[in-house]
Structure 1
């Protein structure tokens, strides 16, 4: 399976705005991790960007996971891009 990198941006006041959606968001990420599709995900220290690494059959699967996430649906993630990644080491 191919690996994919997801780069995204957070909204302003992310800590306050994410609160109602955080439990559902974390549960979804936990399920993705347990299934093996999500390798890792997290914010930059300044809470402006998000980076995720996925292993999936296609880019469409990764985009589907991102767009089904409550952070995307509720504007916590304001934009994102997915690129196939070649892991050198």
Structure 2
């Protein structure tokens, strides 16, 4: 399987706007982690970007996970880019 990095932006006022969707968002991420697809995810300290690393069979799988997330579906994540990633050091 290949590794992928996803990077995207949060909306303005993310702390306030994410509240109704946070529980579903975190539950989905936990399920991805348990399945071994999501390696790690988190925001930058200034809450402007999110960065995630996935291990999946294709970029399409990762894209489906990102677009299926409540944060994407409700405008908390405003854009994203997914790139296949080469892990140089473990």
Normalised-by-shorter TM-score class: over 0.9
Runs of 4+ in 1 over 2 A off after TM superposition: none
Matched, 1:31 2:40: no
Residue 49 of structure 1, CA deviation: 0.2
Q: Distance in 1 between matches of 2:27 and 2:19?
A: 14
Match of 2:81 in 1: 81
Root mean square deviation of aligned Cα:
0.2
SS at match of 2:30: helix
Residue 30 of structure 1, CA deviation: 0.2
Q: Distance in 2 between matches of 1:83 and 1:24?
A: 25
- TM, length-normalised to structure 2: 0.99
Q: Distance in 1 between matches of 2:82 and 2:55?
A: 12
Q: Distance in 2 between matches of 1:10 and 1:29?
A: 17
- TM, length-normalised to structure 1: 1.00
Deviations 1:9-55 (A, max 9, x none): 00000000000000000000000000000000000000000000000
Q: Tell me, which stretches of 5 or more residues in structure 2 are unaligned?
A: none
Question: How many residues matched?
Answer: 89
